[in-house]
Amino acid sequence: MVAWWPGDGTTDDLLGGAPGILKGSARFGSGQVKQAFVLDGVDSWVDLGNASKVQVSSADFSVEGWVFFNSHQGDMSVIDKMSATAVNVDGWRLIKQADDRFWFCLGGGTQNRCTPSDTAFTVYSTTVVAQGAWFHLAAVKSSISFALYVNGVREDVRTPVPAFLDTSSTSLRAGSNAAEGSYLDGLLDEVKLFDRALTEQEVQDIYRAGSQGECR
């Protein structure tokens, strides 16, 4: 693990070096584990910065956390590192799409490859989002594949990893997208970033810990 933002009344990275900043009307409230970031779907998000340790996409990496929706109309970014230079061409993002599924997609370089049919650059959940419930999400990229897990279950995986673009030119965002807004209406909790690919067992163990959380 390289960074951990639990949202327990502070934007601090528990591992140090990547403190967050609340934006808009973002605040703290009761979460899945202690407290969480509360976002209003209008202008609130958390800027997690662009420290060198969060620039992990060139090698194996994983991102995971808990999300809760107060509503679910339209696109809502969960954890997002897409640049604002153009739509979905530079970076990566974990998002609740307008089709009410979760997507994990990679920067298309010359065009938007985060689409319903571009399976080379995007993996999709089979889970359909509902409001009023917590979901655990994990996106995992290795040297040979990238995958999306929902509530401990791997719902999609793709091989090989495409030659995607991520110049690490933008901050990591919790709850919004630099180009489109895509503000999350709900809560985010226990956001973590790893510089390696989590195993399926590790993802399941994190999910099963549930509201008990993990050792700190």
- The reported pLDDT for the residue numbered 215 is 76
- The reported pLDDT for the residue numbered 216 is 73
Closest to 175 measured CA to CA, from 28, 4, 48, 8? 48
Asked if 47 contacts 176 with a C-beta cutoff of 8 angstroms, the reply is no
Average pLDDT, the chain: 97
b/e per residue 43-59 (b: at least 16 CB within 10 A): ebbbbbbebebbbbbee
- The reported pLDDT for the residue numbered 152 is 98
- The reported pLDDT for the residue numbered 199 is 98
Measure the CA angle with vertex 151, ends 7 and 163; round to 5°.
85
- The CATH class that applies to domain 3-212 reads mainly beta
- The reported pLDDT for the residue numbered 214 is 84
Q: Which residues of the chain have pLDDT under 70?
A: none
- The reported pLDDT for the residue numbered 134 is 98
Asked if 127 contacts 155 with a C-beta cutoff of 8 angstroms, the reply is yes
